[in-house]
Amino acid sequence: MFKTTLAIAAATLTVIAPVAATAQDAEAAAPRKVLQPINYSQQEDPENILLLDLSNGERVAIRLMPSWAPNHVERIKTLAREGFYDGVIFHRVIDGFMAQTGDPTGTGQGGSTYPDLEEEFNFMPHVRGTVSMARAASEDSANSQFFIVFYPRFSLDKRYTNFGRVISNMDAVDRINRGEPPQNPTRIMQASIAADNKPAPAAPRIMTEAEVTADDLNSPIS
């Protein structure tokens, strides 16, 4: 009985071993996805730099990473060039967590007319300055909304599509007004791609009351 059991086990190993070897060979042969590191230079590859001109008067530069999430990067670039993000508020800004934008309705429920994107989760961590795609419950529901992380949130890794990083003026992101939604929300006045060389929009005019002089006070009432 014992010899019979050994013989059956040996036969089983003989069958399994070639399959396992084949699986290992296939895994070794499959190309491993290479994720490029962040390039922090604003003079290089301007085609993949997103510029956000904010209503607080600041310009933020974001390095887009096609090697991490090609379809998401292409969507962001397309929408930016169409002016989709111009005037859109940061509708959900949680202190110590992130600032979310990209919904023209300002409610968190809106998006673009383009179809939702399939997830492109990757192993890049959600560190400070990470720019990642917002989504609904479905992993394949990202559309136009994205968020910028204030502090590391590794619980988001491989659950949200990380597609870029702030490379200039993170301090301006820190000054985005908080709230869900904020009482006085910060807006994206203009989103553009650096390669297009669009100038920053003029700062919004602040209306002030005319100065009241002594002559005004002493003038007759008409």
pTM of the complete model: 0.78
Provide mean pLDDT across the span 206-210.
50
Tokens linked to 168: 């200039």
What would the pLDDT profile of 104-141 be if each residue is shown by its tens digit?
A: 999 999 999 999 999 999 999 999 999 999 999 999 99
**Does position 209 have pLDDT exceeding 80, yes or no?**
no
* Angle at alpha carbon of residue 146, lines to 144 and 148, rounded to 5°: 165
Q: What are the residues whose beta carbons fall under 8 Å from the beta carbon of 117, sequence distance 6 or more?
A: 71, 72, 75, 133, 140, 142, 143, 161
pLDDT confidence of residue 220: 60
pLDDT band of 203, cuts 50, 70, 90: low
Measured over the CA atoms of residue 113, residue 100, residue 146 and residue 157, the dihedral's sign is: negative
pLDDT confidence of residue 74: 98
Provide mean pLDDT across the span 203-211.
55
Tokens linked to 150: 């204030």
pLDDT confidence of residue 69: 98
pLDDT confidence of residue 13: 41
pLDDT confidence of residue 34: 78
**Does position 19 have pLDDT exceeding 70, yes or no?**
no
What would the pLDDT profile of 179-199 be if each residue is shown by its tens digit?
A: 999 999 999 999 999 999 999
pLDDT confidence of residue 218: 63
What would the pLDDT profile of 26-83 be if each residue is shown by its tens digit?
A: 445 555 667 889 999 999 999 999 999 999 999 999 999 999 999 999 999 999 999 9
Burial class (CB in 10 A: 0-12, 13-18, 19+), 210: exposed
pLDDT band of 165, cuts 50, 70, 90: very high
